Structure 1
Amino acid sequence: MPALKKIALTVTSAALLSGFVLSPAVAADKDKSDDKQPKPPSTMSSLGGEQLGKAGTQVNLGAGAPVLPKKLSGRSWIVADAESGDVLAAHNAHWRLPPASTLKMLFADTVLPALQPTQTHKVSESELAGVGEGSSLVGIKEDHTYTVHDLWLGVFLRSGNDAVHVLSEMYGGVPQTVAAMQKHAEELQALDTVVVSPDGYDAPRQVSSAYDLTLIARSGMQKKDFREYAATASADFPGEKKKGKKRESFEISNTNRLITGDIGVDPYKGIAGVKNGYTTHAGNTFTGVAERNGKVLLVTVMNPSAEESHAVYKEAAHLLDWGFAASGKVTPVGQLVPPKSIDTGTTTGGKGAAPAAGADQGTGGQEEATHASAAKSSSGVGVALAIIGGLLVVVAAAAYLVNRRWPLGGRTKAAPDAPETKDAAETKAPEAAETAEPVASAGKPADGPADKS
């Protein structure tokens, strides 16, 4: 064999051997890096469908269906049809993770019906004492009077834990509020959810899931006030009253960047809420609802990569875009289950009976109160203002539907509520059995996005 050919063969063999030796080492390093990331449990709930209990991405693409967005980093996410309840795609849907301020959706869905929006309340020092260090705040001051309407704007727009604690005290106290929230979660069949703090502030054992948060959002959107608060971009909030001067107000803006936009994030066309969150342990979380061409979708994203700014909004927007394009072209991987009271098949009369189709679910007398939203101009951004909620029991299916009305208009600014006239006595909620542990010691959120539970 010529010497030149022998040299060539020797070099080639050496290169191949080097590849065999180095490749496993590279793979091992990659696996070692992956091992540092939390993994979903091998066994998760299969409520809503067998595929939803599986780890990883679940999607059944049909003819002409677009592929899912690339580089989705959320530990858990879900895309669902708000009307039919079809889950179009999901990723670790039942993984129980810290929810951060998205848990405020459950707080609102539980407490809203018990308090009149025009009711006023003078805040005491003790009502603000339990607010966690580093919490997101709307700026409530002790010895100042606020309407319930003001407080809900503080919850939905600024994710104010101070507003949550005041409303909890008006409801009967934090422990009773937590117990009622847990009971309501069980009624909604949000069975991955364990409530420890009403505001979503980091607390041991407090968890929810993308599936549960989507159920909770769907329930909340049945309520007129919930819808209007969730869709509001900005509002005037009562400020501090100084001696000899008229009490001034200041503007607050919604921390939901798909409503208000931000650097690198455009307002999403058709967005109508719902809630964003952030804590040290939860990372960023978000549940949103949007309408396009007569189709209403819900999306939840939990704990995406922290390396990209506003990743939770970008991934939610990509998933909504995919859902609208894929609707009717995929086989659902599961269903959003109806509440227990609907699931039992009770249709008329008695406790737990389903309201008639198209009936709006009342929220503490808001039918009598005026909460008209004044249009606020925006650069071509159309925001859906309301979803007229309704429940309908269908024979053999017990379908849980959302009937919609989508007025045209730009981003909205909430109109002021009725003037404050007197201090209201603390309102007690109906007695509820304690099904969750009282608030435990909570972790301090790190600096991050504006919404810190």
Structure 2
Amino acid sequence: MKKIYKQIAILFAVILTIAFVGPHSIEAKTLKLKAESAILVDADTGKILYSKNPDVSLPPASMTKMMTEYLVLEAIDNGEIKWDSTTQISDYAYSISANPSFSGIGLTQDKDYTVEDLYHAMAINSDNAATIALAELIAGSEGEFVKMMNKKAEEMGLTEFEFVNSSGLDNESLGKNHPEGTDPKGVNLLSARSAALLAYHLINDYPEALEISSIPETEFDGKTITNWNWMLPHNSVNFKQFYYEGIDGLKTGYTDLAGFCFTGTAERNGKRLISVVMKTDSEATRFKETIKLMDYGYNNFEDVELFPKGYQIKGKSTLSVIKGKEKTVDIETKDAITIPIKKGTEDKYSLTYKLDKKKLTDSGELEAPIKKGEKIGTAELVYDGEDLGYIIDSDKQHVDVITKDSVEKSNWFMLILRSIGEFFSNLFSSMIDMIKGWFN
């Protein structure tokens, strides 16, 4: 009978665990993503929540267009072009549009297209000719635009990248029209980390990009064009299995060399995530694997205030002060530290001080006068475990350490009296030690 009770108790415990932990609370190692490379990032802080071969350079195919989108939006922001600026389709761009082997909506020549129309064709339908037309409008030629792409990538801090054209097609597919100054057989390259960082800059610097990337379908030149992102709320019954609540971007990609890839982003309850999967084996797989990543992020991580504003490390809450009216001053953190962490791992985080040596004497003291709120160093976040880091130089890993109060400089008379007192105190202590030594 006791054995039966014990088995019932174990079963009840398992049921409770499932109820409270949830079926989606899984470890990263169990994801088993069917992608050669992948990454999941918190879009606010840039913190990496998951990665698989994140620094391997791979062809991104049309995910390349994220950089073209950025430069178009930057040109608009700088007043170089406007949404209603117009341009016509060059012979080169038209040859790409007329080629049925490339994704396209069929642009025509001798017609004015607005920047807005071409951007929609590029961001929604991944139109290659529209992308080339925008590149030519901004830089005069695609070759010059490629230089802008690579320069901007360096400014953004991308690490593993090479842009050879604006669209993401292989240069060999462009034939004699490959951008001047690039390898005729060149291929665009990005790592998952760099793709995520590019997406991070795009949606944080120009959030209006999401207003367009979230459109499932629209009208263009009297035709209906469809977004290749199946995770959006499409009407087609074939896509409904891939719908994901909160998804509003960002860019798909495919070539024979790249396979099927996707940079996705979603927002739920104010929390935005960015995911990248590269070199998957099918259109469906890239979305299924993205769903795995998004579920992992939303079900296993939460924003937690690990240390509040004004936090003091136990045993290190004060610093000695010389030449001041007080002998010590309290120190504390200027701001709170809040980051996304794996649920239940709060106890693995701690703080350590890195004080500014220029602010301290050789013996590690502060010298009066000291102002209230004076920065004397930083408090660095330490994690006891595997930390995947950030895709950006994050300021979320540390906060300033400041003085809690001010300490005025003592006048010369009080300093002399204190020195005399300390002299006789030290002398008395030495005599006591000497007398103790006689009897030992």
Are residue 136 (structure 1) and residue 111 (structure 2) matched? no
Distance 1:72 1:395, change over 3 A: closer
Counterparts of 2:189 and 2:90 in 1: how far apart (Å)? Answer: 30
Task: Compute the TM-score of the two structures, normalised by the length of structure 1.
Answer: 0.56
Residue 253 in structure 1 maps to residue 253 in structure 2: no
In structure 2, what residue type is equivalent to 1:237? F
Match of 2:215 among 226, 232, 236: 232
Instruction: Indicate yes or no: 2:193 matched with 1:211.
Output: yes
Indicate yes or no: 2:291 matched with 1:297.
Answer: no
Task: Determine the structure 1 residue equivalent to 2:149.
Answer: 181
Aligned partner (choices 158, 163, 166) of residue 190 of structure 1: 158
Q: Which residue, 55, 66, 71 being the options, matches 1:105? A: 66
Structure 2 residue corresponding to 1:288, chosen from 253, 256, 264: 264
- Aligned-partner Cα distance in 1 for 2:397–2:33: 39
Q: Is the 8 A contact 2:31 2:292 kept in 1?
A: no
Aligned equivalent of 1:329: 342
Partner letter of residue 266 of structure 1?
F
The aligned amino acid for 2:209 is: F
Q: CA deviation at 1:123?
A: 2.5
Q: Distance in 2 between matches of 1:301 and 1:395?
A: 27
Normalized per residue, the structure richer in strand is 2
Q: Is 2:76 the counterpart of 1:93?
A: no
Between the aligned residues of both structures, percent identity stands at 30
Question: How far apart, CA to CA, are the structure 1 residues paired with 2:162 and 2:66?
Answer: 14
**CA deviation profile, 1:357-397 (whole Å, cap 9, x unmatched):** xxxxxxxxxxxxxxxxxxxxxxxxxxxxxxxxxxxx78967
Structure 1 residue identity aligned to 2:285:
A
Q: For the structure 1 residues 77 and 397, does the alpha-carbon distance in structure 2 shift closer, same or farther, using more than 3 Å as the test? A: farther
What code does the residue aligned with 2:50 have? A
Larger CA deviation: 312-321 vs 325-334: 325-334
Is the contact made by 1:125 and 1:143 (CA closer than 8 Å) also made in structure 2?
no
- Helix, strand or coil for the counterpart of 2:48? strand
Amino acid at match of 1:78: I
CA distance in 2, matches of 1:274, 1:105: 8
CA distance in 2, matches of 1:324, 1:254: 25
Q: Distance in 2 between matches of 1:218 and 1:233?
A: 22
Structure 1 residue 66 and structure 2 residue 26: aligned?
yes
Task: Give per-residue Cα distances to partners, 1:37-73, cap 9 Å, x unaligned.
Answer: xxxxxxxxxxxxxxxxxxxxxxxxxxx9522354411
Q: Shift of the alpha carbon at 1:216? A: 0.6
Structure 2 distance, partners of 1:209, 1:397, is 31
Distance 1:96 1:131, change over 3 A: farther
Contact 1:128–1:166 (CA<8 Å) still a contact in 2? no
Q: Which amino acid aligns with 1:329?
A: K
SS at match of 1:311: helix
Using the alignment, how far apart are the partners of 1:326 and 1:137 within structure 2?
40
What letter matches 1:142 in structure 2?
Q
Question: In the alignment, is the contact (CA less than 8 A) between 2:25 and 2:296 conserved in 1?
Answer: no
- How many Å separate the matches in 1 of 2:399 and 2:243? 36
- Which of 290, 312, 322 lines up with 1:316 in the alignment? 290
Equivalent residues of 1:202, 1:280 under 8 A apart: no
Higher relative contact order (CA 8 A, sep 6+): 1
Please state how far the C-alpha of 1:315 moved relative to its aligned partner. Answer: 0.4
What is aligned with 1:81? 42
**Partners of 1:156 and 1:71 in 2: how far apart?**
30
Equivalent residue number for residue 118 of structure 1: 84
AA in 2 matched with 1:202? D
CA gap 1:127/1:66 in 2 versus in 1, 3 angstroms: closer
Alpha-carbon RMSD across the aligned residues, in angstroms, is 2.4
Distance 1:287 1:111 in 2: 19
Q: How far did 1:288 drift?
A: 0.7
**Matched residue, 1:26:** none
In 2, are the aligned partners of 1:138 and 1:163 still within 8 Å (CA)? Answer: no
Give, as a single letter, the amino acid of the residue that structure 2 aligns with 1:144: K
Aligned to 2:27, the other structure's residue is in SS state coil
Alpha-carbon contact 1:181-1:195 (below 8 Å) kept: yes
Secondary structure of 1:89's counterpart equals strand
For residue 294 of structure 1, report the CA deviation from its aligned partner.
2.2
Offset of 1:82 from its aligned partner?
0.4
The one-letter code sitting in structure 2 at the alignment partner of 1:153 is H
Structure 1 unaligned regions, length at least 5: 1-63, 239-248, 344-392, 399-453
Kindly provide the amino acid, as one letter, of the partner of residue 218 in structure 1. Answer: Y
More helix by share: 2
Please say if residues 88 and 133 of structure 2, whose CA atoms lie closer than 8 Å, have aligned partners that are also in contact.
no
> Are the counterparts in 2 of residues 137 and 160 from structure 1 also a CA contact under 8 Å?
yes
Structure 2 unaligned spans of 5+: 1-23, 76-80, 172-185, 302-340, 344-385, 401-440
1:140 is paired with a residue whose SS is coil
Query: Aligned residue pairs: how many?
Result: 270
Larger Rg: 1 or 2? 2
Matched, 1:277 2:253: yes
- Structure-1 separation of matches of 2:281 and 2:399: 39
Q: TM-score normalized by structure 2?
A: 0.57
CA distance in 1, matches of 2:280, 2:191: 14
Residues 97 and 104, structure 2, Cα contact 8 Å, conserved in 1: no
